[in-house]
Chains A and B, each alone.
Chain A
């Protein structure tokens, strides 16, 4: 394992009965990078994330997060990884501050530090005005921003973001993407970003992986993938063109 590899899987496999949702995945994510995790619906992205976090038991292979096995060292891994699931839910009768307080208490954050932290985070995600509104009355975008705040309260060094911008308006989505980018730049948080929005991924990620039918068919920087598919040339290819090329191949 290289010194700067923070997430590593070896032959990671997940079978549901006979169906292989993820097969022999060898993934390496370096510390401090934003890794775009792409693939069509049902490719196995969410399944992979669940196994990385120990929420699902692999049928084969192994996972190391910062050198730790997420099944054996569940608590330690969950202390450093923040996971925002694709359809994150909330306790609808709590307000934003109460929701954050609950997550803080689950993370064992001391009471006297909680308030300051919450104010900071609400500022960061732009929910100061809605701090005491019930989450049940939040719009999709507000919920997503609250979800980010909840994930950040434990000060993670790795973020798993599944469909972060799903259902958000273009401007809101862009603001969220830029927020993630600045977190990556300022706090050196490693980000694993699952998304179908290739423009957004292209905008912020250093490397991407394309998963189709449980197999990683391509992995590398966008330029290197373009080179592999289209050869060397003057033209700059968009991630979308590259993706479609890989997709048609399978």
Chain B
């Protein structure tokens, strides 16, 4: 335990004193500043409509403003935070010859991985929390909306899911830093995987769906085929952690949404439910809806860890 804590402390100090962290922080602060500003302006212009919504504060995060909303931004570029914090965590130590020193101390080898991972998670938490605070402060100042208790809870859950999501990518990059001896190689591999899982899966999902159930907008395709097409597309794209995360956070941030699927994919009971109850979901209900997504995110993080342990614990460490 003391070994884990020692590694954790050292890594945390390293993160917070590194240029990498400062640049990352500046970048994210800048982007969140812009998105929240855009969202704020956007909301001000549509104040009429806003009067009818029940959760104006959450719209600061979900309304796209000019380019993208905050939650879209985190979904797309959040992974990069995780990758940047972790891509060289083990192989840099190997390259500078400190890894062998570390593992010849009386600590368990997994304490090295865990300490580094937890320090990264702590850094991510600090980063994300400060972004959310920045946007909230902006919302207060710019549009004068005050968050209700439920909105604050929802934001906290959103924060938690985002931390899990980015931590998954941190786990991936740590795995790659164990796997690849070269720092540039592990960086490249992590980015490649990020691009693959975030962008290519959705393309692949489309291709797969069209191959199995070709839906043509010109010709009158049967509704079953269209439904089948949609269903395949949505199932395949769930492989992407980004899709998992986006669906989950949309539900959490927008209480009016009741399903992670599209309207067309609702089962009969769901349809009944949404027509009967026009009220927003309570937080508890929203959390039940996103529970499978959360579980999936945590599960893939754990798998990633299991592989890291397997590789690292057996590895010969010369330097």
A residues adjacent to B (C-beta < 8 A):
46, 50, 53, 55-57, 74-76, 78-79, 81, 83, 85, 87-92, 102-103, 105-108, 150, 154
The distance from the CB of B12 to the nearest CB of chain A, in whole angstroms, is: 13
B100:A105 contact, CB within 8 angstroms: no
The CA of A57 and the CA of B315, in the complex, are separated in Å by: 8
A92:B6 contact, CB within 8 angstroms: no
Residues of A within 8 A of B10 (CB): 102
What residue in chain B is nearest A78 (Cβ atoms)? Answer: B106
In chain B, positions 103-123 with a C-beta closer than 8 Å to chain A are 103-109
Instruction: Tell me what chain B mostly uses at the interface: helix, strand, loop, or mixed.
Output: helix
In chain B, positions 57-111 with a C-beta closer than 8 Å to chain A are 93, 96-98, 100-109
The distance from the CB of B187 to the nearest CB of chain A, in whole angstroms, is: 20
If the complex has contacts A83-B104, A105-B6, A108-B3, are A55 and B96 also in contact, measured as CB distance less than 8 A?
A: no
B104:A55 contact, CB within 8 angstroms: yes
Residues of A within 8 A of B45 (CB): none
Identify which of B7, B93, B317 contacts A55 (C-beta below 8 A).
Answer: B317
**B9 contacts the other chain (Cβ, under 8 Å)?**
yes
> Can you show 20 pairs from A to B with CB atoms below 8 A apart?
A55-B317, A56-B316, A57-B316, A74-B108, A74-B109, A75-B106, A78-B107, A85-B97, A85-B100, A85-B101, A85-B318, A87-B319, A89-B93, A89-B98, A89-B100, A89-B319, A92-B96, A105-B9, A106-B105, A107-B106
**B52 contacts the other chain (Cβ, under 8 Å)?**
no
Q: Which has the most chain B C-beta neighbours within 10 Å: A78, A79, A85, A106?
A: A106
**B222 contacts the other chain (Cβ, under 8 Å)?**
no
Count chain B residues whose beta carbon lies closer than 8 angstroms to a beta carbon of A: 26
Identify which of B98, B104, B314 contacts A57 (C-beta below 8 A).
Answer: B314
The CA of A107 and the CA of B104, in the complex, are separated in Å by: 10
A106:B98 contact, CB within 8 angstroms: no
**B278 contacts the other chain (Cβ, under 8 Å)?**
no
Identify which of B101, B105, B107 contacts A89 (C-beta below 8 A).
Answer: B101
The distance from the CB of B226 to the nearest CB of chain A, in whole angstroms, is: 56
The CA of A81 and the CA of B106, in the complex, are separated in Å by: 9
A89:B316 contact, CB within 8 angstroms: no
**B2 contacts the other chain (Cβ, under 8 Å)?**
yes
The CA of A92 and the CA of B95, in the complex, are separated in Å by: 13
